[in-house]
Structure 1
Amino acid sequence: MAKITLRVVRKPNLMKKKHTSISVKEITKASFETALPKKPSADNVTLDGGRINSSSWVKLLLLGTGAYGSVYLGTSKSKTHHTGDRAIKTAEISHASSLMDEGRIMIRLQSPFIVRCYGDEIAREGYSTQYNLILEYCSGKTIADLIEDNHGELLESEAKVFARDVLSGLTYIHDRNIVHCDIKPDNLLLSPTAVRFRSTGYLTKIGDFGLAMEKGSVEYGNGYGHKRGTTRYMSPELIGHGFVDFGADVWAFGCTVLEMLSGATVWGEYGDLAFDDWVNLIGHSDRMPHVPAWLSKEALDFLSRCLERDVNKRWSTLELKNHPFVLL
Structure 2
Amino acid sequence: MILLTQSSDTTVQKSSTAVTHDGEKSVLSSSSWVKTQLLGRGAYASVYLATSKSHKHKTERAIKSAELSRASSLMDERRILIRLQSPFILRCYGDEIALEENDPLHIQYNLILEYCSGQCIADLIEDNHGRLFESDVKLFARDVLSGLSYIHDRNIIHCDIKPDNLLLCPTDHRFRPNGYLTKIGDFGLAMEKGSIEYGNGYGHRRGTTRYMAPELMSHGIVDFGVDVWALGCSVLEMLTGESVWGEYGDLGSADWVNLIGYTGFTPHIPNWLSEEAQDFLSRCLERDVLKRWSSHSLTNHPFAML
Task: Give me the TM-score of the superposition, normalised by structure 2.
Answer: 0.93
Residue 27 of structure 1 corresponds to 6
- Provide the alpha-carbon RMSD of the alignment: 1.4
Q: How does 1:126-275 map to 2 (within 5 A)?
A: 126-275=104-253
Residue 43 of structure 1 corresponds to 11
1:239–1:43 CA distance, 2 compared to 1 (3 A): farther
CA distance in 2, matches of 1:83, 1:207: 23
> Shift in Å at residue 148 of structure 1?
1.0
Contact 1:251/1:306 (8 A) holds in 2: yes
Partner of residue 30 from structure 2, selected from 35, 54, 69: 54
Code of the residue aligned with 2:166 in structure 1: it is L
Gaps of 5+ in 1: 1-20, 30-40
Contact 1:92/1:130 (8 A) holds in 2: yes
Q: Indicate the SS of the match to 1:166.
A: helix
Partner of residue 106 from structure 1, selected from 81, 100, 119: 81
> Shift in Å at residue 50 of structure 1?
5.1
Contact 1:92/1:128 (8 A) holds in 2: yes
Q: Indicate the SS of the match to 2:93.
A: strand
Do structure 1's residue 85 and structure 2's residue 63 form an aligned pair? Answer: no
Q: Count residues with an aligned counterpart.
A: 295
Q: Indicate the SS of the match to 2:233.
A: helix
| Runs of 4+ off more than 3 Å | 47-50
Q: Indicate the SS of the match to 2:125.
A: helix
> Shift in Å at residue 51 of structure 1?
2.0
CA distance in 2, matches of 1:209, 1:254: 19
> Shift in Å at residue 43 of structure 1?
3.1
1:293–1:49 CA distance, 2 compared to 1 (3 A): closer
Q: Indicate the SS of the match to 1:165.
A: helix
Residue 327 of structure 1 corresponds to 305
Do structure 1's residue 64 and structure 2's residue 40 form an aligned pair? Answer: yes
CA distance in 2, matches of 1:285, 1:49: 52
Larger RCO, structures 1/2 (Cα 8 Å, 6+ apart): 1
CA distance in 2, matches of 1:50, 1:227: 35
Q: 1:160-214 CA deviation, whole Å, 9 max, x = no partner?
A: 0000000000001101100000000000000001111101100000000010000
Contact 2:77/2:187 (8 A) holds in 1: yes
Residue 15 of structure 2 corresponds to none
Q: Indicate the SS of the match to 2:95.
A: strand
Partner of residue 257 from structure 2, selected from 262, 272, 279: 279
1:118–1:83 CA distance, 2 compared to 1 (3 A): farther
- Percentage of matched positions with identical amino acids: 71
CA distance in 2, matches of 1:192, 1:60: 20
CA distance in 2, matches of 1:264, 1:228: 23
1:188–1:161 CA distance, 2 compared to 1 (3 A): same
Q: Indicate the SS of the match to 2:197.
A: coil
Q: Indicate the SS of the match to 1:304.
A: helix
Contact 2:217/2:260 (8 A) holds in 1: yes
Q: Indicate the SS of the match to 2:113.
A: strand
Contact 2:62/2:113 (8 A) holds in 1: yes
